Structure 1
Amino acid sequence: MCIVTHMSGSEIVSGRRAAYAGFVVFGAFWGAWGASVPAIRDQAGLDDGRLGLALLFVGAGALPAMPAAGVAVDRWGRRPAALLLVLLGAVGTAVALTARDLWSLSAGLALLGAASGAADVAINAAAGAAEQAAGRPVITRAHGFFSASVVLASLSTGLLAGAGAPAFLPFLLVALVAAGLAPVIAAGGRAGAADRAARRGTGTPGERADGGGGPARARPAGEAAPEGRAGRPAVRLAPLLLFGGLGALAFAAENAHQSWGAVYLADVLGAGPVLAAAAPAVFAAVVAVTRFSAGRVASWRAATVLVCGAVTAAAGSSAVAAAPSAPVALAGLVLAAAGTAVLFPTLLAAANDGVGHAVRGRATSVVTGVAYLGFLAGPVYVGWWADATGLPGAMGAVAALSLALALAAWPVLRAVRRPTGNKGCTF
């Protein structure tokens, strides 16, 4: 059962601020991490092959933590996000201090992955709740704050490293920023209280927990349906898996460019170190600008945005694959970044549409968990194709991922938004 939540204007603003603050901290961490990897690799005495092995433990830690985070969010609201972001900064500091060989780095990265995966679910659930309560774009703009924070944090970490600062300092600063923003991220609103009341069975049947009031709509994605185990509202699993599958394609293309852009410019086009290093920064900056500017459009018509974004991303990847020079490849990266920028936020917003507060954490954990597989697989996918066809061929294979998303987006959205009654797998 669900209840109506009547949120005041201040509570809605609080929700948006919490979402944006959470993504700022999360982006700051990953910006610091990306810029710190060479120093941590050297400190642990690893070559690139063993570093790649150690990095697999990030995913090994993240994937099992994501469902647990979803349950925690459903029970305690935004507070887990605040705690997890502080923990993420602390774990990053510990990894930078203690990673002295393959095993210590791998163990630290498993903990880091668990904290990161759980925080990812928590902040995305917070953004979804804020968007539904406000009735205006939040998710795409929150991801824009993430991308902007990645750029700023990576540049700041590079400056600190150039000044001779220890490797742990950027992560300690992230932990301090997270602690400072924790009250903003965890702040009030009635969503948590509404969730607890809904689980106790209070409220009027047929009313919505997303604050919309009136009769419940047809369930377009993972909205609470029949009662699940222990009286909890159930989540329709199949639509969320479909959204997660599309998200995996989006993340695979995005992380492929982010991880291989500099290598492509250096190895294929002979770019110097400075120009090659600009590739990931340019990509992330364009993603941030696109997400800020496309926030309102991305919430307008999901299928149109997804198809246009995926086609644009495919065109950018194809331009990179055929580029005769580094400037042309950078232009292709700009196009690919603009296309991929809108994909996952739009998918997450569509998956959140109609999902009740009492199950939002679990629903978000399914979508982000499946999509995260694509994030992990993207760089590996490029490496496999590079071995088989060379890097230009691999960039063509990345374009194929985006085209597959463009072809699948409209049928998937139509299927999951068809009224289904109480049919479908639940958990």
Structure 2
Amino acid sequence: MVTDEIATLGRARVAVTLAFAAHGLLGAAWVARIPQIKEHLGLGEGAMGVALLGAPVGVVAAVRFAGRIVGRWGSATTTTAAGVAAALSLVPLGLAGNLGALIVSLLLMGASLGLMDVAMNAQGVAVERGYGRPIMSGLHGSYSVGTLLAALIGSGAAHADVPVPLHLAAAAGVLAVLVVLGCRGLLDRSADALPEPDEDVPGARHSGGKTSRRGSAASGRWPLALLGIIGLCSFVGEGAMADWSAVYLRENLGTGPGVAGLGYAGCAVAMTVGRLTGDQVVARFGPVPVLRAGSLVAALGLGLGLAAGDPTAAVAGFTLFGLGAAVVAPVTFSAAGNIPGVPAAAGISRVTGVGYLGLLGGPPVIGFIAQGVGLTWALTVPVVLVGLIVVLAPATATAGR
């Protein structure tokens, strides 16, 4: 019996790792082609910012109901279905012939990715509980591997002048198959049970020797709000790296289309390294010191890189941002999924809803700001926001419990 449980848990870890990798591939499949799409449609920074609003609208709509959907269908089924939908959304994105079509395509992509994100993180929390030790940073590391591969493939396709519709259609087919086959080993619905309160976790309330779940859920609102703000501060920068780094390098610093994709690739490489080693680092030093040190590295690195006004320095700045922000998402989601009396999917959906406003809503705002003061100054917004994590980091103190 024990051997069977260990084997089931092992298969689930492989499956959820593949789900995270697929999510990264899906979200970043098109980012290196943004300059070509922008140029093909004849869009300025402001119009491109409007187009990018489609994704956050879709995410907000999906995340609002994600907790209920996962509660009804389970995190495994929801992860698979949303992943396939996200893959298929790449096809109309590549075929978009005007601003309206681009907005609708991004709305569909955002909704699918938002729902998949909540479901796969809830599954990750369940697998982490089974192992009894931190694994969320490693799971998010596989997501970063996916974004890195997508960035490199996209840069290569752009350099080889592969048509955008062909590139994204091929990616859609491959990724849909990966999601269907890779997610077969996920844990069933029994893994989505409400986390048991722990008297060592601040916020758990007791009555007559038993924990009051209503009181625990109520006391969990404030920690969830703080965790959401931390996610927002970090994800604005992540969204900016994905959507504007290539544009900045190509249009502000005059690089070629192949080099322009290296800014996001550098960020993705550093984030991958940081997350793949993050579980051990957080276990040794604790989430609060790690988040504080990382946020300082991210803010200083990106700020100095922008101030230099040189392609090499800019790529280095994007890279340091990725390294410093690497553990924010896994630590934040782990904390949100383990708040006593709050279902993992419900906690994660609330934090994800706020965080994704930064990840997907930040780039359009940066586009609007760039229209007025230039892209260089607009990219200082994530520098300021990520620096705020130094103050907010204590909210993650119970991560992983």
Deviations 1:140-162, CA, capped at 9 Å, x for gaps: 12222122212222332444563
Counterpart amino acid of residue 104 in structure 2: A
- Seen in structure 2, the aligned counterparts of structure 1 residues 53 and 6 have a Cα distance that, compared at 3 Å, is farther
C-alpha offsets along residues 99-149 of structure 1, whole Å, 9 cap, x if unaligned? 233333322322222112111211222222222221233221222212221
Shift of 1:248: 0.2
Distance 1:78 1:254, change over 3 A: same
Conserved 8 A contact 1:40-1:167 = no
Q: 62, 67, 89: which one pairs with 1:65?
A: 62
* 2:21 matches 1:24: yes
Aligned-partner Cα distance in 1 for 2:152–2:191: 41
Q: Deviations over 1:39-86 (max 9, x none)?
A: 55566x442343432221111111011132222222323111011101
Cα displacement string for residues 392-424 of structure 1 (whole angstroms, at most 9, x for unaligned residues):
5445443322221112212x346x89xxxxxxx
Higher mean Cα deviation, 130-139 or 269-278?
Answer: 269-278
Q: Name the SS for the 1:78 alignment partner.
A: helix
Alpha-carbon shift at residue 89 of structure 1 (Å):
0.9
Distance 1:320 1:305, change over 3 A: same
Matches within 5 A, 1:262-341: 262-266=246-250, 269=253, 271=255, 274-300=258-284, 301-323=286-308, 325-341=310-326
Alignment of 1:383-398 (within 5 A): 383=367, 386=370, 393-398=377-382
* 2:152 corresponds to which of 152, 155, 166: 155
Matches within 5 A, 1:86-97: 86-97=84-95
Counterpart of 2:199, as a letter, is: R
1:47 aligns with 2:31: no
Amino acid of the structure 1 residue aligned with 2:32:
A
DSSP 3-state at the match of 1:100: coil
Residue pair 1:313, 1:339 contacting (<8 A) in 2 also: yes
Distance in 2 (CA, whole Å) between partners of 1:256 and 1:312 is: 17
| C-alpha distance in 2 between matches for 1:252 and 1:221 | 29
Give SS of 2:187's match. Answer: coil
Structure number with higher helix proportion: 2
CA shift digits 1:231-284 (9 cap, x unpaired): xx8893332121011110011123234433344445555555554442121111
Residue 129 (structure 2) pairs with residue 145 (structure 1): no
Say if 2:298 and 2:386, in contact at 8 Å, map to a contact too: yes
**In the alignment, is the contact (CA less than 8 A) between 1:26 and 1:85 conserved in 2?**
yes
Deviation of 1:174 after TM superposition, in Å, equals: 3.6
- Superimposed CA distance per residue, residues 278-304 of structure 1 (whole angstroms, 9 cap, x where no aligned partner): 212111121112211223223551111
Could you tell me whether the CA contact under 8 Å between 1:320 and 1:392 is conserved in 2?
no
For residue 391 of structure 2, what is the aligned residue in structure 1?
A: 407
> Please, which of 182, 194, 197 is the counterpart of residue 180 of structure 2?
182
Q: Counterpart of 2:199?
A: 217
Cα distance in 1 for residues equivalent to 2:106 and 2:204: 32
- Aligned Cα RMSD in Å? 3.4
Q: What residue in structure 1 maps to residue 208 of structure 2?
A: none
Q: 1:304 to 1:261 in 2, by over 3 A?
A: same
* Cα 1:221/1:106, change in 2 over 3 Å: farther
Identify if the C-alpha distance between structure 1 residues 64 and 134 changes in structure 2 by more than 3 Å, giving closer, same or farther: same
User: Which deviates more, 324-333 or 241-250?
Assistant: 324-333
Q: Partners in 2 of 1:336 and 1:290 — Cα distance?
A: 11
Distance in 2 of aligned mates of 1:405 and 1:278:
26
Does the 8 Å CA contact 1:89/1:171 hold for their aligned counterparts? no
Instruction: Check conservation: 1:85, 1:175, Cα contact below 8 A.
Output: no
The equivalent residue for 2:82 is: 84
Which residue is 1:425 aligned to? none
Q: Is residue 147–residue 284 contact of structure 1 (8 Å, CA) maintained in 2? A: yes
Change in Cα spacing, 1:6 to 1:279, as seen in structure 2 (3 Å) is: same
- 1:8 aligned counterpart, secondary structure: helix
2:213 matched to 1:226? yes
Q: Cα distance, 1:371 vs. partner? A: 0.7
Q: Is the 8 A contact 1:24 1:145 kept in 2?
A: yes
Answer yes or no: is the 8 Å Cα contact 1:148–1:288 preserved in 2.
yes
Which of the numbers 327, 336, 340 marks the counterpart of 1:342? 327
Deviations 1:158-217 (A, max 9, x none): 445636456155344444433344244243535x1355xx6xxxxxxxxxx55x8xx843
> Does the aligned pair in 1 maintain the 2:78–2:119 contact within 8 Å?
yes
Q: In the alignment, is residue 364 of structure 1 matched against residue 342 of structure 2?
A: no
2 CA distance for matches of 1:222 and 1:244?
Answer: 20
Q: TM-score if structure 2 supplies the norm length?
A: 0.83
- Unaligned segments of structure 1, at least 5 residues: 199-208, 418-427
Query: Cα offset for 1:30?
Result: 2.0
Question: Alpha carbons of 1:216 and 1:333: their partners in 2 closer, same or farther (altered >3 Å)?
Answer: closer
SS in 2 for 1:137: coil
The answer to whether the 8 Å contact 1:217/1:354 transfers is no
Change over 3 Å in CA distance of 1:143–1:61 after alignment to 2:
same
Q: Which amino acid aligns with 2:79?
A: A
The number of aligned residues is 388
Q: TM-score, normalised by structure 1?
A: 0.78
